[in-house]
Amino acid sequence: MKTDVEELTPTRVKLTVEVPFDELKPNLDKAYKEISQQVRIKGFRPGKVPAPLIDKYVGRGAVLQEAVNDALPGLYGRAVEESELFVLGQPEVEVTELEDGTQFAFTAEVDIRPKFEVPDYDGLEVVVDDAEVTDEQVEETLGNLRERFASLTTAERAVEEGDFATVDLVARIDGEEVEDASTSGYSYEVGSKSAVEGLDDALIGLAAGEEATFTGALTGGERAGEEAEITATVQSVKIKNLPDLDDEFAQLASEFDTIDELRDDVRTRLGRQVKAQQLSDARDKALEALLEKVDIPLPDAVVDEEVGRRNQQLEQQLQMAGMTKEDYLKDEEKSEEEFDTEVADAARLAVKGGFVLDQLAVQEELNVENEELSEYVVTQAMQMGVQPQQLAQYLTENNQLPAIVSEVLRSKALNLVVEHVTVKDESGNVIDVEAVQRELNGETADAETETAETETAETETETAETAETAEATDQAEETEQAEAETEETAEGAAEAAADESPAAEPESAQDKSS
């Protein structure tokens, strides 16, 4: 097989592949066998029809077409591998020559990762925020905890801002009730502005049994966004009572005996959170600093795909939140054009970052071991709340392991960059990333065994969301067992999926011609 590579652009090539006809013999034999199973010719059982009769009644051309379609993916993959290309996406394939018994040739145009070298990253310096926990942050966290233990008592007076009013809401458009926008017994914090616009103003001053009617745009349901006449009837008025910040509250809300102990624990947890955030910021800024040293072209199709993925993700999130894109843009105070520009810029940066980390992994000869792949699957499964073996099976069946291997490789490459970067806080102090990482690992294990009843447990969740900065050391036996369960599934996957030049299968020649 002979392959010529023509560079159309720095990110797109055209492969011209010539194949001796003899190499198609296994595919021809397979084509005859499959067609023989399908045709019905008197005197011959299915699968036993001789090749000459298939040529006569079905046609040699149909056999050739079947053989070519079967051979194309493998031949294309060989051409990519021999040319040492890192291809992206599906190729555009065209059969250019098919002479029975003589020659077979085809072309394939495909996007590729640009060829470049990652420059030296020693000496890079990044600055992150100080790991400072203020008294205000501590008191705010305790205040949030007080809110969780607040109680409501009925008030014999009119509604005031900050009260909780139990209301019935009836929405009408053109005199007809909108059922999915009406409700009864709705407990609403007056002044929170978390419901239909105009409700807060309508409720203030109403006593139990009184009602008010106002006009507002519906926020959900089939008629979301339409103006409706809304009647709010107050059933009851309740006042929120916050517990005092004293030892009794500490014993109620936590495992501590005194408020001072609880306050110290909050400060410790917040300190761990800001340190974890420091490490996360250090990774992000280290990658940004490296990307500033690299100038490479990006395939438009890959960038467009990333833009589409981000827009789809936002659409799903907005749908789950019951918001429209117009609502989101209004909240963010952005125009459609500004939003599209930001998404496009972020997509280009993400694609570029992936290319740079992929190339760095190649240059540094990084590999993904089966144990690392298993550990990643276990960690993701724990965060998703599913069994590791279940997730591993899903990833395997849906051909997602190559993407997982790529993600692990990129993370290892970024870790390597961070190791060579000088990280300082805004005060000019050099941060020992490895030491902070070890500290967080040890404290995280202790923290996960503590009660989750306190508000400060929320800071653990936020710390867990920066999981790249803290490896889970708790539940070691469970993790070890889960890794053993996924080891068989992961066996060999890293080696197969981490191929530097994964070749997407081309469309069949028949599909292409149509």
Decide if 75 is inside a domain: yes
Packing angle of the helix pair 388-397, 401-419 (nearest 10 deg): 110
Q: Which residues contact 371 (CB under 8 A, 6 or more apart)?
A: 483, 487
**Does residue 30 sit in the same domain as residue 105?**
yes
What is the SS3 assignment for 52? Answer: helix
Name the residue range of residue 72's domain.
2-111
**Does residue 107 sit in the same domain as residue 155?**
no
Q: Which residues contact 93 (CB under 8 A, 6 or more apart)?
A: 72, 76, 106, 107, 108, 506, 507, 509, 512
Supply the CATH number for residue 181's domain.
3.10.50.40
Decide if 236 is inside a domain: yes
| Closest-CA residue to 118 (of 403, 346, 413, 350) | 413
Name the domain count of the chain.
2
Decide if 358 is inside a domain: no
pLDDT digits (tens, 9 = 90+) for 340-356: 999 999 999 999 999 99
Residue scoring higher pLDDT (186 or 99): 186
Q: Read off the amino acid at residue 144.
A: N
Packing angle of the helix pair 401-419, 433-447 (nearest 10 deg): 130
Q: Model pTM?
A: 0.68
Distance CA 436, CA 443 (A): 11
Query: For the residues 262-288, what does the mean pLDDT come to?
Result: 94
| Closest-CA residue to 413 (of 350, 467, 363) | 363
**Does residue 77 sit in the same domain as residue 172?**
no
Neighbour-count burial for 464-488, b at 16+ CB within 10 Å, e otherwise? bebeebbebeeeeeebeebbebbee
pLDDT digits (tens, 9 = 90+) for 210-258: 999 999 988 878 888 889 999 999 999 999 999 999 999 999 999 999 9
DSSP classification of residue 119 = P
Distance CA 346, CA 310 (A): 9
**Does residue 183 sit in the same domain as residue 233?**
yes
**Does residue 85 sit in the same domain as residue 158?**
no
**Domain termination site, one of 241, 270, 292:** 241
- Alpha-helix residue ranges (DSSP H) falling in 115-230: 135-148, 199-203
**Does residue 13 sit in the same domain as residue 89?**
yes
User: What is the pLDDT, as a whole number, of residue 351?
Assistant: 95
**Does residue 107 sit in the same domain as residue 185?**
no
**Domain termination site, one of 223, 241, 259:** 241
Packing angle of the helix pair 259-291, 135-148 (nearest 10 deg): 120
Decide if 79 is inside a domain: yes
Decide if 131 is inside a domain: no
Structure tokens at 389: 């073996």
**Domain termination site, one of 52, 84, 111:** 111
pLDDT digits (tens, 9 = 90+) for 176-206: 999 888 999 999 999 998 888 899 999 999 9
Distance CA 220, CA 372 (A): 45
**Does residue 80 sit in the same domain as residue 27?**
yes
**Does residue 104 sit in the same domain as residue 7?**
yes
Whether residue 456 is predicted with pLDDT greater than 50 in this model: the reply is no
Decide if 211 is inside a domain: yes
**Does residue 173 sit in the same domain as residue 231?**
yes
Residue scoring higher pLDDT (185 or 44): 185
Decide if 473 is inside a domain: no
Q: Read off the amino acid at residue 500.
A: E
Distance CA 232, CA 212 (A): 5
Helices (H) and strands (E) in the chain, counts: 18, 12
Supply the CATH number for residue 71's domain.
3.30.70.1050
pLDDT digits (tens, 9 = 90+) for 53-94: 877 878 888 888 888 999 999 999 999 999 989 999 899 999
Decide if 411 is inside a domain: no
Residue 118 CA, chain-centre distance (Å), reads 26
